[in-house]
Amino acid sequence: MSYRRDKQKSLEWSRWVDAHRELLLLSCGLPTSVFEEQQNWFHFLDHGFYGERRGQPAVIDVDGLSDQQAEALCSFLERQGDEVYVLGLLQSRLGRGRYVC
């Protein structure tokens, strides 16, 4: 049995990327590889980094974002309305949200 992508989900993901590409690239400083595939995006949201492979540094790590990029990404994720790990990291770093110590 071969794996087949759900065409509707792929189309929805493509539309989501098209709608947010400029913000994610320019304001948030995320490389295209983070959101070119939905699973990459979810990995980043769940772990706070993406692209680490066998001792190689991550392509992007939320800790490496500038304050301006962190603010842009945090605001974007807050508007999306999903509770994800990386949002908690950003809110803590920026001193807001329920994750503030």
The three state secondary structure string of 6-33 is CHHHHHHHHHHHHHHHHHHHHHCCCCHH
With 60 as the cut, is the pLDDT of residue 99 above it?
Answer: no
Helix (H) or strand (E) holding 93: helix 85-94
The pLDDT value recorded for residue 56 is: 77
Whole-prediction pTM value? 0.85
Q: What percent of the chain has pLDDT over 70?
A: 91
With 90 as the cut, is the pLDDT of residue 66 above it?
Answer: yes
